[in-house]
Amino acid sequence: DGGITQSPKYLFRKEGQNVTLSCEQNLNHDAMYWYRQDPGQGLRLIYYSQIVNDFQKGDIAEGYSVSREKKESFPLTVTSAQKNPTAFYLCASTEAPNYGYTFGSGTRLTVV
Amino acid sequence: GESVGLHLPTLSVQEGDNSIINCAYSNSASDYFIWYKQESGKGPQFIIDIRSNMDKRQGQRVTVLLNKTVKHLSLQIAATQPGDSAVYFCAENIAGGGNKLTFGTGTQLKVEL
């Protein structure tokens, strides 16, 4: 079955560490996105990529970095510069403009 | 409606009743709208979408209404079931905005037996 796979489901980070969240899709979608969700709130866009080897900052990119070396993969690194990283992270993809996103099941990141 | 902060607007309905969830969107240039359902600890699931050249679209037990004059979107769920309990988000795509969706803060739907 086609879909988006996020891993790990749960991730714990110590203060000052960088961590990388994985997002892989086999839907052959060109565009991929990373959103952050805090409790009781909507989704805020971190980074997005419309095509391989290209990506743009979203509304809250500070403290995060991404790469898009392959069409199927769009990993997100949460750096030590992100002061409040505890949140639920969602990856999504879409086949074309003005089409709905398909979401992964999310990664819950907690700072310990 | 929309709100900021930790407390989502909540709609409580009896099983079997119809539910109406509302959303005020922000940009008159938005040309595509989607409703998503999110269960606790899971990613959002697509429910239904509508383009700005339409006023109404129906799916299985769901209807989306778009009023561009007042920038308002609603989701109607017929014969609400316990499995409909979730948070519902509206999302808008702003034409020329780079193909990225902007999400509302969501409404918690609780179905009472």
Q: Say what the pLDDT of residue A1 is.
A: 61
- Residues A57-77: pLDDT tens digits? 999 999 999 999 999 999 999
What's the confidence (pLDDT) of residue B95? 79
Q: Which residues contact B110 (CB under 8 A, 6 or more apart)?
A: B10, B11, B12, B13, B85
Diameter of chain A measured on Cα atoms: 39
Closest alpha carbon within chain B to A6: B43
Rounded to an integer, the average pLDDT of B5-16 is 82
Contact B100 A104 (CB under 8 A): no
Q: CB-based contact (8 Å) between B13 and chain A? A: no
- Determine contact, residues A40/A106, Cβ cutoff 8 Å: no
Size of interface A-B (CB pairs under 8 A): 63
Test the B interface: residue of A55, A89, A103 with most B CBs within 10 Å: A103
Residue B105 near chain A (CB below 8 Å) = yes
Give the residue from B99, B102, B107, B108 with the most A CB atoms within 10 Å of its CB, the best one to mutate.
Answer: B99
What are A69-105's pLDDT values in tens digits?
999 999 999 999 898 999 999 999 998 777 889 999 9
